[in-house]
Structure 1
Amino acid sequence: MYKENAWKKYTDEEMKKVMEFSEGYKAFLSEGKTERACARLTLRMAEEKGFRDLEEVLKAGDSLKPGDKVYAVNMNKNVALFVIGEKPLEEGLRILGAHIDSPRLDLKQNPLYESEGFALFDTHYYGGIKKYQWVTLPLALHGVIVKKDGTSVDFVIGEKEEDPVFGVSDLLIHLAADQMKKTGAKIVEGENLDVTIGSIPLKEAAEDEKEREAVKANILRILKENYGIEEEDFLSAEIEVVPSGKARDYGLDRSMIMGYGHDDRVCAYTSLAAILDVESCQYTNCCFLVDKEEIGSVGATGAQSLFMENTIAELMACMEGESLIKVRRALKNTKMLSSDVSAGLDPLYLSVSDKKNAAFLGHGIVFNKYTGARGKSGCNDANPEYIAQLRKILDDAKVNYQTAELGKVDQGGGGTIAYIMGNYNMNVIDAGVPVLNMHAPWEVVSKADVYEAYRAYKSFLGDF
């Protein structure tokens, strides 16, 4: 039921649109490998479409009227875009909410050390990963270092053709008899996910460094000369280790995209593209891009922060005057799509899925009425009245969609930001793109699903 292959319906002209849209997404995915990079890209694209900074609107004392486009930024990791609608804000918004963080390795605050003639960076993994998947891959460093005087040094090393790359070493098969007896969770330990960054000792090292930390000294020299970075600056740094390389077409028919961070930038990009195409609307439209979903949506930049609530309060003050009760009503009357990915059915691992309730690549956007685990624990369970409204919208727009669960009952599970936004008493459902290899360094999606998600999100932002 509702599992029709989207590729079958496309005309030659529509096929061209699918492929062209995917090129824009591939560029976004290749450049936006961190949440900060995604936020920068989002702001650049939004300003090109006429969006203004809400902070500037507030400072100028301007009011907002239907058709106005504004954005708000939170700590360079959250972005909320708004297109002001004809109806009072109190009557609710139409929100597309996605997260822009992805599983990765983070450098610890005191990361640089030398061991047995190698300089390495000590890491702590971020999000749910299979640790063994991160060894022997070409890796890149993306980050920002903030100095004590407040100046920031942004850098990316390992993405250009002429850049060096980095990596986590693995034990050769010839000596791995004991290692191969371990479970998948223990084959590679978290503390062994350290990144090798150099092996040449500094010839001019101080006498006490010649025998023990001359390689580390040489790395510090390179960092100082090329980036103005001192070792102490790592204390106020945020450096992420991600797979090196661009998103690429996958398959001889070029029907899919392999890239790092589809979860959840594929839904972030399609949500962003949808709202950027909006010129006017009945209800105020919003695209809400958040951080920290992969570790529970906690902290000042996660969905559990008050950033969205505070921003809507500022909008209310600009449009209808300050009123806490009106803000509460606006949130209650809001309808939202929690734009997050779902597990695609993998022909090599059919045993973990219930096929009639699984998401198929190429069959369109996926609705998950609920996620969670062990008896729906921790999930948002969408109301059937709301789902019926969405069915009509997508059927009228001839958008391919499907429904799914995240694997068989008791097989596993997962969560999104849906339950958090549901706490405001708004209608929310998870709706996103099916993914293969989810949370692996290289994930796979179908171009058809990417395009159908964009069309679904654009239809949702219309009047209903």
Structure 2
Amino acid sequence: MRTDQIQGLIDFLSTSPTPFHATAALARRLEAAGYQRLDERESWSVQPGGRYYVTRNDSSLIAVRLGAQPLERGLRLVGAHTDSPCLKVKPQPELQRQGFWQLGVEVYGGMLMAPWFDRDLSLAGRVTYRAAGRVQSRLIDFRKPLAIIPNLAIHLNREANQGWAINAQNELPPILAQVPAGELRDFRALLAARLQQEHGIGDVEVLDFELSFYDVQPAALIGLDDDFIAAARLDNLLSCHAGLEALLAAEGDENAVLVCTDHEEVGSTSCCGADGPFLEQVLQRLLPTGDAFTRTLQRSLLISADNAHGVHPNYADKHDGNHGPKLNGGPVIKVNANQRYATSSETAAFFRDLCQREGVPVQSFVVRSDMGCGSTIGPITAGQLGVRTVDIGLPTFAMHSIRELAGSHDLGHLIKVLTAFYSSSELPL
């Protein structure tokens, strides 16, 4: 276990409470490494050996390392997503009930609701405003704990431990403050004050916002022997971070791409999601046109990196007996006969061989035949581009909880194999 890699992930998670902040953090790292930002609204002039990145909606990012090799040799692509299940603030959120000021929230993605109770919550995201006659946007992050969703005492809900269905409309609005009778709080005024405090921007009219609550408890290395990483948003910022580390560490002259898109947790159908045109449009501007475009993609490979379900010691029967990935047992190849994952026997063999050559342990996951299966950006991107794809990920507990758990040794395994993938001179498929 390399402590610098662990600390790098912890630092990234702490600065990335939302997809907007995650994208900004990725962009800062890329620029520090000499990558040049491309604006989709302008003409592009790219050169062999160049390093470039482009963002869309401030929440999705594609980074491209152009090598000395011809593009028609193919691309090495790693894909992940920037979003995680959370509570998003509604457009007109103010609620004042029983002397408390609360905010109405909407559940984003398939989240576990119960762990959100009794947590110290803060608020972050993007605010769009008018100042000096111009409409513009800034990211904000309150950082401090400013809200909480208190549980109902067991004395008033004796059935709580027998399975309690949570009503998202009534039971999830966080409490921000107590307010005297007759006093009305203005949420937009609070955001305007934050813009002044965080960015020095005064005299603004807040027009709209995309804000999410998050747990302020920092990520941590835990366990008697430091075996685990506990944090929010491991799904899937862990893969974004590993992909970036691999891209920056890779050697050689191959053409490499990192794709980190938003909205995977809600289906990826958006202008900046994997089921939108973002990646294809970027590649169309970089690659040769006509049949050369297809030839290039057919010589390419995508590793779709998204967390996998580790076998839980208390719930081992939730896994197929022959496919129970262990934390710290290495990356997991994810397979599904119904194409919820895009892995084929050829792409799985390629990744397994790559792991073996790099001395990285590798595992397999197939969902129980009597259970449904989640999905990833893998099948979506394969369906959009026709690119060969393998779905992999690091085993995780408590996926989609407010705090998830992964193995501390697995991060190094993933970075090592992705670095080798980006550096490889051949895609033997």
* Residue 156 (str. 1) matches residue 137 (str. 2): no
Q: Which residue of 2 aligns with 1:216?
A: 185
One-letter code aligned to 2:243: S
State how far apart, in whole Å, the 2-side matches of 1:231 and 1:405 are.
52
Query: Retained in 1: the 8 A contact 2:351–2:390?
Result: no
Written as runs of structure 1 = structure 2, the 5 A alignment for 1:65-464 is: 65=48, 67-148=49-130, 149-157=134-142, 159=143, 163-177=144-158, 183-184=163-164, 186-201=165-180, 211-212=181-182, 214-216=183-185, 222-227=190-195, 233=206, 236-282=208-254, 284-316=255-287, 320=288, 323-370=289-336, 376-377=337-338, 379-406=340-367, 408-423=368-383, 424-461=385-422, 462-464=424-426
Query: Retained in 1: the 8 A contact 2:119–2:148?
Result: yes
Query: Retained in 2: the 8 A contact 1:118–1:215?
Result: no
Deviations 1:372-404 (A, max 9, x none): xxxx44513422222222222221111111111
- In structure 2, do the counterparts of structure 1 residues 300 and 49 end up closer, same or farther at CA, with 3 Å as the change threshold? same
Structure 1 residue 346 displacement after superposition: 0.8
One-letter code aligned to 2:147: F
Query: Retained in 2: the 8 A contact 1:98–1:267?
Result: yes
Q: Which residue of 2 aligns with 1:28?
A: 12
Query: Retained in 2: the 8 A contact 1:135–1:167?
Result: yes
- In structure 2, do the counterparts of structure 1 residues 313 and 381 end up closer, same or farther at CA, with 3 Å as the change threshold? closer
Structure 1 residue 54 displacement after superposition: 2.8
Query: Which secondary structure does the structure 1 equivalent of 2:250 belong to?
Result: coil
TM-score, with length taken from structure 2 = 0.90
Q: Which residue of 2 aligns with 1:9?
A: none
State how far apart, in whole Å, the 1-side matches of 2:307 and 2:395 are.
6
Deviations 1:401-450 (A, max 9, x none): 111124x2222320101111211222101111110111110001111111
One-letter code aligned to 1:64: Q
One-letter code aligned to 1:296: G
Deviations 1:153-172 (A, max 9, x none): 43212x3xxx3431112211
Deviations 1:101-143 (A, max 9, x none): 0010000111112112111110001111122221111111012
Structure 1 residue 224 displacement after superposition: 4.7
State how far apart, in whole Å, the 1-side matches of 2:208 and 2:41 are.
31
State how far apart, in whole Å, the 2-side matches of 1:460 and 1:100 are.
21
Query: Which secondary structure does the structure 1 equivalent of 2:237 belong to?
Result: helix
Query: Which secondary structure does the structure 1 equivalent of 2:64 belong to?
Result: strand
Q: Which residue of 2 aligns with 1:204?
A: none
- In structure 2, do the counterparts of structure 1 residues 278 and 180 end up closer, same or farther at CA, with 3 Å as the change threshold? closer
One-letter code aligned to 1:62: S
Query: Retained in 1: the 8 A contact 2:107–2:168?
Result: no
Query: Retained in 1: the 8 A contact 2:20–2:139?
Result: no
State how far apart, in whole Å, the 1-side matches of 2:300 and 2:343 are.
14
Aligned positions, number: 416
- In structure 2, do the counterparts of structure 1 residues 301 and 222 end up closer, same or farther at CA, with 3 Å as the change threshold? closer
Structure 1 residue 96 displacement after superposition: 0.3
Query: Retained in 1: the 8 A contact 2:88–2:212?
Result: yes
- In structure 2, do the counterparts of structure 1 residues 222 and 75 end up closer, same or farther at CA, with 3 Å as the change threshold? closer
State how far apart, in whole Å, the 1-side matches of 2:4 and 2:194 are.
38
State how far apart, in whole Å, the 2-side matches of 1:187 and 1:125 are.
12
Structure 1 residue 44 displacement after superposition: 0.6
TM-score, with length taken from structure 1 = 0.84
Structure 1 residue 248 displacement after superposition: 0.7
Query: Retained in 1: the 8 A contact 2:127–2:209?
Result: yes
Query: Which secondary structure does the structure 2 equivalent of 1:387 belong to?
Result: helix
One-letter code aligned to 2:8: G
- In structure 2, do the counterparts of structure 1 residues 324 and 113 end up closer, same or farther at CA, with 3 Å as the change threshold? farther
Structure 1 residue 78 displacement after superposition: 1.0
State how far apart, in whole Å, the 1-side matches of 2:363 and 2:91 are.
44
Stretches of structure 1 that go unaligned for 5 or more consecutive residues are 1-14, 202-210, 371-375
Structure 1 residue 334 displacement after superposition: 1.6
One-letter code aligned to 2:244: L
Structure 1 residue 194 displacement after superposition: 0.4
Query: Retained in 1: the 8 A contact 2:81–2:261?
Result: yes
State how far apart, in whole Å, the 2-side matches of 1:117 and 1:354 are.
51
State how far apart, in whole Å, the 1-side matches of 2:222 and 2:213 are.
23
One-letter code aligned to 1:90: E
Query: Which secondary structure does the structure 1 equivalent of 2:149 belong to?
Result: coil
One-letter code aligned to 2:330: G
- In structure 2, do the counterparts of structure 1 residues 294 and 226 end up closer, same or farther at CA, with 3 Å as the change threshold? closer
Structure 1 residue 328 displacement after superposition: 2.8
Q: Which residue of 2 aligns with 1:39?
A: 23
Counterpart selection for 2:47 from 33, 48, 64: 64
Stretches of structure 2 that go unaligned for 5 or more consecutive residues are 197-201
Q: Which residue of 2 aligns with 1:53?
A: 37
Query: Which secondary structure does the structure 1 equivalent of 2:47 belong to?
Result: coil
One-letter code aligned to 2:376: T
Give the structure with the larger helix fraction. 1
> RMSD of aligned C-alpha atoms?
2.3
- In structure 2, do the counterparts of structure 1 residues 350 and 79 end up closer, same or farther at CA, with 3 Å as the change threshold? same
State how far apart, in whole Å, the 2-side matches of 1:226 and 1:32 are.
18
Query: Which secondary structure does the structure 2 equivalent of 1:150 belong to?
Result: strand
% identical aligned pairs = 24
- In structure 2, do the counterparts of structure 1 residues 397 and 222 end up closer, same or farther at CA, with 3 Å as the change threshold? closer
- In structure 2, do the counterparts of structure 1 residues 164 and 340 end up closer, same or farther at CA, with 3 Å as the change threshold? closer
Query: Retained in 2: the 8 A contact 1:39–1:79?
Result: yes
- In structure 2, do the counterparts of structure 1 residues 190 and 354 end up closer, same or farther at CA, with 3 Å as the change threshold? farther
